Amino acid sequence: MHQPVLPSLRPGLPGQPRLQGVQLQGRGSAVHLRRTRHACPQAGAVLRKKRKFKENFMKKFAIAAMAAALSLPLLCQDCSAAGGEPSWEACDDLGGNANVRMCQDKVVAYWDKRLNAAYQKVKKNCGTAQCPKKLQNAEREWIKYRDLMVEAAGEAAGGYEAKGSMIYAMEQTRYLATKHQALVLEHLLDD
């Protein structure tokens, strides 16, 4: 078989071809090719355009993130009813799924916080030695009940075939169950 004779790529030898845009690196028999910057004059321009695009994108992203962060307090004010208590119904009036979801999360968090505060007060005011343990067991069972009701609400709303309404039904059920339990515990404090 005939093997083609390749010209030597060592630079500086007269009469030897030199590859444009390629530099030889290394010592001895371990010679490596490395592309230089000027292998293709257009490559530098393309790289500069890519770098500028990336910088502009990052600036725009940072501005959008700051605008979103600054608008959160305004959005959360829209969730509150006249008494300062967040309202599920007020969330439905907001535009856009993301705004509605953030508002609903705020409403659920508000009632969860009230529930936890009432639970701690009732536990602290227990009259008997068995009361704290019974209260703890009741709350654990209530959490199981709530989670099952949320799951059932999602399936009743159409399951994964109707994903948007399923999620809404599940979150609304979580909100209603949490609000109800918080009011029940607060009622125990009134007695």
34 forms beta bridges with: 23
Q: What is the pLDDT of residues 29-44, one digit of tens each?
A: 555 555 555 555 666 6
Domain 107-190 architecture:
Up-down Bundle (1.20)
In sequence order, the 6+-apart residues with CB closer than 8 A to the CB of 154 are: 166, 167, 169, 170
Beta carbons within 10 angstroms of residue 182's beta carbon = 20
Average pLDDT over residues 134-144: 94
Contact 93, 81 (CB under 8 A): no
pLDDT digits (tens, 9 = 90+) for 65-106: 565 555 544 444 455 554 578 888 888 777 777 888 888 899
* pLDDT value at residue 113: 95
Q: How confident is the model at residue 49 (pLDDT cuts 50, 70, 90)?
A: confident
pTM of the model: 0.55
> Residue range 15-29: average pLDDT?
52
Per-residue confidence band for 187, with pLDDT thresholds at 50, 70 and 90: very high
CA distance 41 to 164: 53
What single string gives the DSSP state of each residue in 100-159?
HHHHHHHHHHHHHHHHHHHHHHHHHT--SSSHHHHHHHHHHHHHHHHHHHHHHHHHHTTG
> At residue 55, does pLDDT exceed 90?
no
Domain boundaries, the chain: 107-190
Cα 43 off chain centre by: 37
Residue 183 pLDDT more than 80? Answer: yes
Determine the pLDDT at residue 75. 46
**Selection from 89, 121, 93, 120 nearest residue 107 by Cα:** 89
- Residue bearing tokens 């607060």: 186
Q: Show the tokens assigned to 144.
A: 């199981």
